[in-house]
Chains A and B, each alone.
Chain A
Amino acid sequence: MKSADLHIEGAKSGAMEMARTRLVVPVSLFILGFSLLIVRLISIGILDDMSDQVTRVPSGKVDIIRERVDILDRNGTVMATNLPAPSLAVRPNLITNPEETADRIVAVLPDLNRIRVLNKLRSSRRFLYIKRNLSPTQVWKINALGYPGLILERAEKRVYPQGRLASHVLGYVDMDGKPQAGVEKFFDDHLSNPERSNDPLYLSIDLRVQYIMREDLVRTMARFSARAAAGIVMNVNTGEVLAMVSLPDFDGNAPIHPGSPEMKNRNIVEPYEMGSEFKTFTVAMALDSGVVKLGDEFDATKPLKVGRQTIHDDHAKNRFLDVPEIYTFSSNIGASRIIRKVGVDIQKKYLARFGLFNKPVIELTGLSRPILPQHWGEIQSMTVSYGQGIAVTPLNMVTAIASVVNGGRLIPATLIRQNKTENTPSYGLSAAPPVYPRVISAQTSRKMRQLMRLAVDEGTGGFARVAGYRVGGKTGTAEKVVDGVYHPKRKITSFVGVFPMDKPQYIVFAMFDEPHGIKATFNMATGGWVAAPVVGDVIRRIGPILGVMPVLNVKTQYRNLIFIGNEKK
């Protein structure tokens, strides 16, 4: 650092030297500092990963798709989800060539009107929407056009990948994302909570069972040209609904027409007169109250006259019938005589216990109250005993029948999966099982199971028989009230089946509104001809899926009490 051409002699020279040496320190510091910078600069330029520094990412804690929580079936298959569906918007002042831009946009989105698009592109406003809910392909194509004036705004769309399959259970959301029906509406607090976007709602529905139920109903509905149909599959021990179908149905992805007939979930919205299935309750209450014994016989030799009404049998035997025979051959006269012996008060008490005086219980909105006789005298009690003059929703019916066969407890229906799977460990802290109200004794329930089994094996529900699955059940055929009188041609036919009858697990219900007889059924459109085969077919197909082990050659009890040919077996 000593410069040769500048020298100062004398006294000042010492001070000068000192200043020079002192200057060395800061200068070297500066050099050090700058060389550090240079090294760092080179290292950034050469060594560092470019993308790390360049990409500006939004700090993310909230999910990208977050407006609505998913709905899954009990096996985790997606039933409803939200997908990104950006909206296409435009800033007209950034569009240089509106004609060409409009052509290109219409080429990508063919359902748009070119002139309208052109008007929007030429508009004097700053920001305009062109189209909502673009598909991923369309987004890609719009991006590929590369116009800076076209903007894709983040938006979401509710999608139902299963289409129509479970539309009445799920309900739908309108254009603004507001839920309008079904589970979507009932669980909106959960579903619309962004903080629970990773906590999907597990329904008790099993899509495979739902599909089988729907397919069978659709086929039979077309075959008998029925107006509508409904079907339920429920676990009798937990109340979990595995399938709930109402036809006609709708597609939640398509535009919705509220108020049209396909929007009605017939399982909960509409009370129907169910017909003979009510004899199940009549016999159950008679046996449970101890008024009637299984072997008691009732006179069914001729139609029963009560006041101005005459009660007929559809499958008249014209002789004395015991209780299993009344039930198996579905004798209206017999049921009326039983209820006359039981009395109106006990009948009302039991029907109330079965939950048939209240709205059905399930996690859906729009439930209907049953329609009861205004005056409940002896005549009414007799017609109610075989299911006339009282109208309940199918779900009411299914819940009540489940309580008859499951050992006598009324378990409310639910659409939510009960966490009893092996996937959720209990950590030894099993909660106390919920206490359900007892409806009938376990003993009566056992007898009723055998009677229902008889009705399938020997009686009106023969078409519901499935080898190995010990199906029990009851048919129901009721005439509809048209202009205040019962119309003999317009019928509600239904069948409620339970399997396996020695240890009931599932209840299967099918109902048809105004089926018309065809040649193959000898123009009959009764529950035994229309609905029972559906239930049988559904059980045949869902039994293996649900892991119900078939057992061949199981004998039915009480067959000895039934008079089929000439003598009792």
Chain B
Amino acid sequence: MIRVVAVFFIMMVMISVGTVYSLKETTQRLQARKQQLSANILKDRAAIKVLRAEMAYLSQPARLQKLSRRFLALSPARPDQLAKSVSMIASRDSGPEKFKPASAPVDAFPLLLPRERPVMPKRDITRPPVRKIGYYDGISGKPESGK
């Protein structure tokens, strides 16, 4: 009986010693791994910093302008090239130049399920309010018309 108990306890001791050993070993290894990872993160962060500085240097407005002049057919935007919505461009048609949008704005034609009827967003249909300015408007400090 005693012998069985002794063997049992010896086994227990051996197993627990083994477990403790392997736990400690694993922890140490994880620790080292963690340390290495965090060191790598710092190293990468430093590298990112260098790259950001390089990017800022390469994208200096002066340099971009020079490159754009050389390789692209872009020129500064004219005020008449900007519009808030498609309907505003339509109202400009009467001028000497005809304006055509290069592409339809994405958000004006949302993708819809086939069963639904496409609906134009309401805000795009309304025309900008026409301002009427009276003869002595504003002189007496009245709020400006059209607002």
Cβ contacts under 8 Å, A52 to chain B: 29, 32-33, 36
Top 9 A-B residue pairs of the complex, sorted by shortest distance between their CB atoms: A468-B79, A550-B79, A211-B61, A78-B56, A161-B56, A161-B57, A64-B46, A57-B39, A544-B77
Cβ contacts under 8 Å, B59 to chain A: 77
Q: Which of B86-121 contact A (CB under 8 A)?
A: none
A555-B144 Cα distance, complex, nearest whole Å: 12
Contact between chains at B52 and A64 (CB < 8 Å): no
Contact between chains at B76 and A81 (CB < 8 Å): no
With an 8 Å Cβ cutoff, the count of chain A residues facing the other chain is 55
Binding site for A on B (CB under 8 A): 29, 32-33, 35-36, 38-39, 41-43, 45-46, 49-50, 52-57, 59-62, 76-80, 82, 84, 128, 131, 133, 135-139, 141, 143-144
A58 is an interface residue with CB less than 8 A from chain B: yes
Among A63, A64, A81, the most chain B Cβ lie within 10 Å of the Cβ of A64
Of A446, A447, A467, which contacts B79 at CB under 8 A? A467
Contact between chains at A540 and B76 (CB < 8 Å): yes
Among residues of A, the one whose C-beta sits closest to the C-beta of B54 is: A161
Contact between chains at B131 and A554 (CB < 8 Å): yes
Of B45, B60, B77, B143, which contacts A64 at CB under 8 A? B45
Q: A294-B139, A540-B76 are in contact. Are A162 and B60 (CB under 8 A)?
A: yes
Q: Is the interface of A mostly helix, strand, loop or mixed?
A: loop
Q: Which of A142-166 contact B (CB under 8 A)?
A: 159, 161-163, 165
Q: How many residue pairs at the A-B interface have CB separations less than 8 Å?
A: 113
Contact between chains at A550 and B39 (CB < 8 Å): no
Cβ contacts under 8 Å, A447 to chain B: 138, 141
Q: A57-B36, A57-B39, A446-B138 are in contact. Are A82 and B49 (CB under 8 A)?
A: yes
A59-B62 Cα distance, complex, nearest whole Å: 42
Q: A78-B56, A211-B62, A549-B84 are in contact. Are A84 and B77 (CB under 8 A)?
A: no
Contact between chains at A77 and B35 (CB < 8 Å): no
A77-B99 Cα distance, complex, nearest whole Å: 35
Contact between chains at A446 and B141 (CB < 8 Å): yes
Q: A78-B52, A211-B62, A552-B79 are in contact. Are A60 and B141 (CB under 8 A)?
A: no
Contact between chains at A443 and B79 (CB < 8 Å): no
Q: A52-B36, A560-B135 are in contact. Are A64 and B42 (CB under 8 A)?
A: yes
**In whole Å, how far is A444's beta carbon from the nearest beta carbon of chain B?**
8
Cβ contacts under 8 Å, B131 to chain A: 554-555
Among residues of A, the one whose C-beta sits closest to the C-beta of B145 is: A557
Contact between chains at B82 and A549 (CB < 8 Å): yes
**In whole Å, how far is B113's beta carbon from the nearest beta carbon of chain A?**
29
26 contacts between A and B (CB under 8 A): A52-B29, A52-B33, A57-B36, A59-B35, A64-B42, A64-B45, A65-B46, A78-B52, A82-B49, A83-B53, A136-B50, A159-B53, A161-B53, A161-B57, A162-B56, A165-B62, A446-B143, A446-B144, A469-B79, A544-B82, A551-B128, A552-B80, A557-B137, A557-B138, A558-B138, A561-B139
Q: Which of A48-88 contact B (CB under 8 A)?
A: 52, 55, 57-65, 70, 77-79, 81-84
A347 is an interface residue with CB less than 8 A from chain B: no
A450-B46 Cα distance, complex, nearest whole Å: 53
Cβ contacts under 8 Å, A334 to chain B: none
Known: A469-B79, A543-B79. 8 other contacts (CB 8 A): A60-B39, A65-B46, A77-B59, A450-B138, A467-B80, A550-B82, A555-B133, A557-B137
Cβ contacts under 8 Å, A208 to chain B: 61
Among residues of B, the one whose C-beta sits closest to the C-beta of A556 is: B133
Contact between chains at A61 and B38 (CB < 8 Å): yes
A295 is an interface residue with CB less than 8 A from chain B: yes
Cβ contacts under 8 Å, B35 to chain A: 57, 59-60
**In whole Å, how far is B3's beta carbon from the nearest beta carbon of chain A?**
12
A215 is an interface residue with CB less than 8 A from chain B: yes
A532 is an interface residue with CB less than 8 A from chain B: no
**In whole Å, how far is B30's beta carbon from the nearest beta carbon of chain A?**
11
A162-B136 Cα distance, complex, nearest whole Å: 51
A162-B47 Cα distance, complex, nearest whole Å: 19
Among residues of A, the one whose C-beta sits closest to the C-beta of B7 is: A25
Cβ contacts under 8 Å, A55 to chain B: 36
Contact between chains at B53 and A468 (CB < 8 Å): no
Among residues of A, the one whose C-beta sits closest to the C-beta of B133 is: A555
Cβ contacts under 8 Å, A159 to chain B: 53
**In whole Å, how far is A125's beta carbon from the nearest beta carbon of chain B?**
32
Cβ contacts under 8 Å, A165 to chain B: 60-62
A77-B131 Cα distance, complex, nearest whole Å: 41
Cβ contacts under 8 Å, A82 to chain B: 49
Cβ contacts under 8 Å, B80 to chain A: 467-468, 550, 552
A79-B133 Cα distance, complex, nearest whole Å: 47
A447-B128 Cα distance, complex, nearest whole Å: 24
Cβ contacts under 8 Å, A61 to chain B: 38
Contact between chains at A77 and B53 (CB < 8 Å): no
Contact between chains at A443 and B141 (CB < 8 Å): yes
**In whole Å, how far is B43's beta carbon from the nearest beta carbon of chain A?**
7
**In whole Å, how far is B20's beta carbon from the nearest beta carbon of chain A?**
14
Among residues of B, the one whose C-beta sits closest to the C-beta of A77 is: B56
A347-B53 Cα distance, complex, nearest whole Å: 50
A121 is an interface residue with CB less than 8 A from chain B: no
A502-B143 Cα distance, complex, nearest whole Å: 12
A70-B35 Cα distance, complex, nearest whole Å: 26
A557-B53 Cα distance, complex, nearest whole Å: 49
**In whole Å, how far is B8's beta carbon from the nearest beta carbon of chain A?**
15
**In whole Å, how far is A278's beta carbon from the nearest beta carbon of chain B?**
23
Of B29, B53, B128, B135, which contacts A78 at CB under 8 A? B53
Cβ contacts under 8 Å, A181 to chain B: none
Cβ contacts under 8 Å, A60 to chain B: 35, 38-39, 41-42
Cβ contacts under 8 Å, A84 to chain B: 46, 50
A562-B29 Cα distance, complex, nearest whole Å: 86
Contact between chains at B56 and A557 (CB < 8 Å): no
Contact between chains at B39 and A63 (CB < 8 Å): no
- What sequence of 0s and 1s flags, for each residue 233-247 of chain A, a beta carbon within 8 Å of any chain B beta carbon? 000000000000000
Cβ contacts under 8 Å, A468 to chain B: 79-80
Cβ contacts under 8 Å, B139 to chain A: 294-295, 558, 561
Cβ contacts under 8 Å, A190 to chain B: none
Among A161, A447, A544, the most chain B Cβ lie within 10 Å of the Cβ of A161
A551-B32 Cα distance, complex, nearest whole Å: 64
